[in-house]
Amino acid sequence: MAVTDRPTRTAGALAAMARAVVPVLSVVLAIIAIWYGASVMMNRAWTLDQIQRQNLEMTPSQIIADAMTQERPVLPPPHQVAAEIWNTTVGEPVMRERRGQMQGNPRNLIFHAYHTLWPTILGFMIGTGLGILLAIGIVHSRAMDLSVMPWAIASQTIPILAIAPIIVVVVANLPVLNTAVDQGWISDDTKLLVPKALISAYLSFFPVVVGMVAGLRSPNAMDLDLMRTYSASRAQMLWKLRLPASVPFLFTSLKVSIAAALVGTIVAELPTGARFGLGARLLTGSYYGQTIQIWSALFMAAICAAALVMILGALEKIVLRRMGVRP
Amino acid sequence: MTQTAVAATTEASAPVIAAQNLDLTFQTNDGPVHALKDVNLTIGKGEFVSFIGPSGCGKTTLLRVIAALEHPTSGTITVNGITPDQARQNRAYGYVFQAAGLYPWRSIEKNIALPLEIMGFDRAEQEKRVKNVLQLVDLDGFGKKFPWQLSGGMQQRASIARALAFDADILLMDEPFGALDEIVRDHLNEQLLQLWARTQKTICFVTHSIPEAVYLSTKIVVMSPRPGRITDIIESDLPRQRPLDIRDTPQFLAIAHRVREGLRAGHAYED
């Protein structure tokens, strides 16, 4: 029976996939169509202006074509952004030779993505660790429960753009870091990475705290009573009950937190004169009115965020399967 | 403390559980709730004691007091001659809850090993004991499964195995089969009796079901609510060997009748 069952099951799975793909594709196509429409509408003004100034004759289709091929469009159409991304990733070497040394190539978007991703991951790890520790403290100590949570919430209401420069200045003048650079332990570039990672951690610890407090408190009264009948210590309750029970909550928070970490890094690059990174790319784009460059950097950031969330999703699947969650 | 413990074990007829004038009042938002009033009870070694009564009669609370999960407002209770808290430290209790309460992220054998890990048994000993109790509850070969892969009855058997794993001499069971259907329940009742005969444990068993209480017990404690108190204690004269059809004998029906009368009396007091 299982043998005869299989082909219909495969066919069923394919049909299910097709059912999922069709709506997703339609949404994507609709977005692209709206994007093109909006792009023509918004870029047309400049073309019409040029026609008037230079007394040109243009048919409507020529106007549309011009609106989609401008060098500095108000809203670049999808194909221009795609071409820019292609040219600045595949079309440019990641490394280039300069003054006899191989260096990262600032014309390459992957190089910028790397400079953003690295502090993002570092900040995410710091934020996650801090978040878990705070949550453990909050769950175990009433004093921490009452005192830490309001501060954690308050910390997230401060605009990060306002405190990013402060953090950069403070960190740049930390004697420890300066000594490390002087001694040659870390390079100047690595030193620039530290404030970015800290700002990223600042944004990413909060979802972890909130999620983990809920997760660590998720065991029900019976689960806890069971531990009490064994006279388990608080540490044993934490390791054998609270932490395993909080894992699904943790992964949900991590997905929010990694996105926040990426935003944190990019924002940290904006007011601090960073030379490399997606934030720096956004900033130079806006200085010189390079809208296509801005959009391609934005897309790169979105791709990075999607990739990070997907990696976490895959990790979640593996971990939860090993923890015996019903497939 | 050790002296009393020694005295208790040397004295052959010493009770395993002895409660005198036990009172427990919960302070709730709706005012005080008198959960236990003037409870006097003695349970000897190897007895199978059922606590029966309507909801709110304090039977679960009494079990929790014995397990040191609740503490009485007044009165005294000793377990093996020492306080419940000390008895718990001495690993006196295996507790089986109404739901199996297996941790879903642990396989069956890991669930059973949980108390062993907490109590610091070494790995080889853990494996030996897990294998042993799995056999005892007839779950051989299911150790690697996760809880959701087992039926409700099998999960409850696994939770009994977990309570047995560290050789507690008192098994406290709070409506362990309450959520199971009658056929599975009959089967588990039979198995529980066999287990009791083999392990010689003292069992305290909370239930809603009169046939279950009469079928299993050597002593039936009938309780009634508001305030929770004991209305009758029935010593069963049924033989220790009990096939399922013992439930049709006049002897069985007579005891069941007395339990029912006791329950009704408790209610008449209330109305």
Rounded CA gap, B144 and B136, in Å?
17
What pLDDT does residue B270 have?
47
CB A195 within 8 A of CB A272: yes
Domain boundary among A56, A75, A94: A75
Distance CA A212, CA A244 (A): 11
Residue of A224, A231, A236, A239 to mutate for B, most B C-beta atoms under 10 A: A231
Q: Say if A95 falls within a structural domain.
A: no
Q: What is the pLDDT of residue A5?
A: 53
Whether A50 and A185 share a structural domain: no
Same domain, A31 and A174: no
Residues in chain A closer than 8 A to B69 (CB atoms): 225, 228-229
CB nearest to B69's CB, from A223, A228, A245: A228
Residues A115 and A67 in one domain: no
CA distances from A260 to A190, A282, B215 (A): 22, 18, 62
Q: Shortest CB distance from B117 goes to which of A223, A240, A245?
A: A240
Label residue A8 by pLDDT band (50, 70, 90): low
Chain A residues whose CB is inside 8 A of the B98 CB are 222
Asked if the model's pLDDT at residue A204 lies above 70, the reply is yes
A208 and A146 in a common domain: yes
- Asked if pLDDT for residue A25 goes beyond 70, the answer is yes
Query: B222: which residues sit within 8 A by CB, 6+ positions away?
Result: B52, B53, B230, B231, B232, B233, B234, B259, B262, B263, B266
Q: What value does the mean pLDDT of chain A take?
A: 88
- Show residues of chain B in contact with A230, CB under 8 Å: 91, 114-115, 118-119
Query: Is the per-residue pLDDT at A37 higher than 80?
Result: yes
**Same-domain check for residues A254 and A317:** yes
Say whether both A116 and A62 belong to one domain. Answer: no
pLDDT given for residue B12 in this prediction:
47
Determine the pLDDT at residue A6. Answer: 59
Last residue of a domain, one of A75, A91, A123: A75
The tens digit of pLDDT for each residue in A65-76 reads: 888 888 889 999
Q: Is residue A216 part of a domain?
A: yes
Q: Is residue A89 part of a domain?
A: no
Of all residues in chain B, the one with the smallest CA distance to A219 is B103
Residue A91 within any structural domain of the chain: no
B119: nearest CB among A222, A225, A230: A230
**Lowest pLDDT segment from A179-193, A312-326, B51-65, B141-155:** A179-193
Mutate to test the interface with B, among A223, A225, A226 (most CBs of B within 10 A): A226
Q: Tell me, yes or no, whether A35 and A171 share the same domain.
A: no
* Same domain for A68 and A149: no
**Domain coverage including residue A66:** 2-75
Residuewise pLDDT in 10s, chain B (271 residues): 444 444 444 444 578 888 888 888 888 888 888 888 888 889 988 899 999 988 888 888 999 999 989 899 888 898 888 888 888 888 888 999 988 889 999 999 999 999 999 999 999 999 999 998 898 888 889 999 999 999 988 999 899 999 989 888 899 999 888 878 888 888 888 888 888 888 888 999 999 888 888 899 999 999 988 888 888 888 888 888 888 888 888 888 888 888 888 888 776 444 4
Q: Identify residues of B whose CB sits under 8 angstroms from chain A CBs.
A: 67, 69, 88-89, 91, 93-95, 97-99, 101, 103-107, 114-115, 117-119, 146-148
Query: Is A90 contained in some domain?
Result: no
DSSP string, B98-117: SS----TTS-HHHHHHHHHH
Question: Does some domain include residue A16?
Answer: yes
Amino acid at A76: P
Residues A60 and A173 in one domain: no
How confident is the model over A171-194, as a mean pLDDT?
82
pLDDT exceeds 70 at position A1: no
**Number of folded domains in chain A?**
2
Same domain, A209 and A132: yes
**Separation of alpha carbons B170 and B90, rounded Å:** 11
Average pLDDT estimate for A206-232: 93
Please give the pLDDT value at position B9. Answer: 43
pLDDT single digits (tens) A243-287: 999 999 999 999 999 999 999 999 888 877 778 889 999 988 888
pLDDT of residue B10: 41
Note the pLDDT of residue A189: 73
Contact B101 A226 (CB under 8 A): yes
Instruction: Answer yes or no: is pLDDT of A313 > 60.
Output: yes
- Residue B11 CA to residue A55 CA, distance in Å, equals 117
- Confirm if B40 and B21 have CB atoms less than 8 A apart: yes
Residue A132 lies in a domain: yes
* C-beta separation of A223 from A245 below 8 A: yes
Residue A103 pLDDT class (50, 70, 90 cuts): confident
* pLDDT value of residue B95: 92
Give the per-residue pLDDT at B7.
43
Rounded alpha-carbon distances, angstroms, from residue B107 to B113, B150, B158:
10, 11, 10
With respect to residue A92, please indicate whether it lies within any of the assigned structural domains.
no
Res B123: pLDDT? 93
Q: Is residue B252 within 8 Å of residue B60, measured between CB atoms? A: no
Residues A224, A236 contacting (CB under 8 angstroms): no
Same domain assignment for residues A42 and A127? no
Asked whether the predicted pLDDT for residue A100 surpasses 80, the reply is: no
Which chain A residue is nearest to residue B63, measuring alpha carbons? A229
Contact assignment for A229 to B118 by CB distance below 8 Å: no
pLDDT number for residue A166: 87
Considering the domain architecture, whether residues A285 and A161 belong to the same structural domain is answered as yes
